[in-house]
Amino acid sequence: MKTIRKKLFSFLVISLVILASCKEDTVRPDPLEVPEEMTMTVKINGTSHTPVLFDNYITLTSRQDSIHGKYLVLNSLINETQKFEIAITNWVSQGGHEFGVFPKKYLFSVADTARRCEAIGNPDSIYCDGAVIRYFLSDDYVYQSLDDSVSFVNITRCDPIRFKINGNFNSMLIALPPFEDTIYVQGSFENQYYRERGY
């Protein structure tokens, strides 16, 4: 009996040592770390920018305490003062993986026929998936995507297992009050890592 216990104990110790020495295949960056394969290009009024830092994440959001959504944010720093952000919202009741969003084209228009909408909770409450783009010239000078027929965020790939997302975007942005000017942004992103936040 002692021999069996010794062998079992030895087996458990060896197993723990092996498990502790294994590394995860998918290495997720710490916030604001930029691996080589993680790219984004942002053109603002025709001038190309490459963000230098990222803090991408997915989190749960809720309305009326019972309606839950997934909110994926690609948050990038263009320079010391300018930030660029793409946010995609899907609702949990629409299905899909809990750590990903649907790969599709999100149009910034009420005429978007691909938009998934549902009456959830109160029958008068309609919840649709969607996207928004924001450009922060400074903390108090912010542009946001304009609802029109040509603006979009196109998610071409979202891998909720490896926490990577690819896509492109094209939008007219309007400055929030008290400003009123507009800018045009377009670009693409590949292998953008994101992490869970607040799940």
Query: What's the pTM?
Result: 0.77
Residue that is written with structure tokens 């010239």 in the block:
137
Between CA 104 and CA 167 the distance in angstroms is 9
74 within a domain of the structure (yes/no): yes
Task: Identify the band that residue 96 occupies on the pLDDT scale cut at 50, 70 and 90.
Answer: confident
The amino acid present at 91, given as its one-letter code, is W
- Which contiguous run of DSSP H or E holds residue 108? none
User: What DSSP designation does 12 have?
Assistant: H
Task: State the total domains in the chain.
Answer: 1
Q: Is the pLDDT of residue 12 over 90?
A: no
In a domain, 2, yes or no: no
Judged against a pLDDT cut of 80, whether residue 193 lies above it is answered with yes
Query: Residue 13: which region, alpha, beta or left (left: phi > 0; alpha: psi -120 to 50)?
Result: alpha
ω into 31 cis (within 30 of 0): no
CA angle, residues 55, 58, 64, in degrees to nearest 5: 130
pLDDT over threshold 80, residue 87 = yes
For the cut 90, the answer to whether the pLDDT of residue 138 exceeds it is yes
User: pLDDT class for 19, splitting at 50, 70, 90?
Assistant: very low
Asked if residue 125 is part of any domain, the answer here is: yes
Asked if 116 contacts 80 with a C-beta cutoff of 8 angstroms, the reply is no
The pLDDT assigned to 33 comes to 56
8 assigned to some structural domain: no
Point out the least confidently predicted range of 93-97, 113-117, 185-189: 113-117
Residue 122 above 80 pLDDT?
A: no
27-38 pLDDT, tens per residue?
A: 344 454 566 789
Does any domain span residue 93? Answer: yes
Per the prediction, the chain carries an average pLDDT of 81
| Residue 143 resides in a domain | yes
Positions of E strands within 9-161: 39-44, 47-49, 53-54, 57-63, 67-77, 83-91, 105-107, 117-119, 126-128, 130-138, 141-145, 152-159
Predicted confidence at residue 68, as pLDDT, reads 80
**pLDDT at 135 > cutoff 70:** yes
Between 173 and 129, the more confident residue is 173
Q: Give yes or no for residue 172 having a pLDDT over 60.
A: yes
- Asked if the model's pLDDT at residue 162 lies above 60, the reply is yes
Residue 76 within any structural domain of the chain:
yes
**Is 95 a domain residue?**
yes
Give how far Cα 177 sits from Cα of 8, 64, 174, Å: 70, 28, 9
Largest CA-CA distance found in the chain, in angstroms, rounded: 82
| Domain residue limits at 171 | 27-196
> Cα–Cα distances in Å, from 194 out to 34, 99, 101, 117, 181?
11, 10, 12, 25, 31
How confident is residue 67, by pLDDT bands cut at 50, 70 and 90? confident
| 23, pLDDT greater than 60 | no
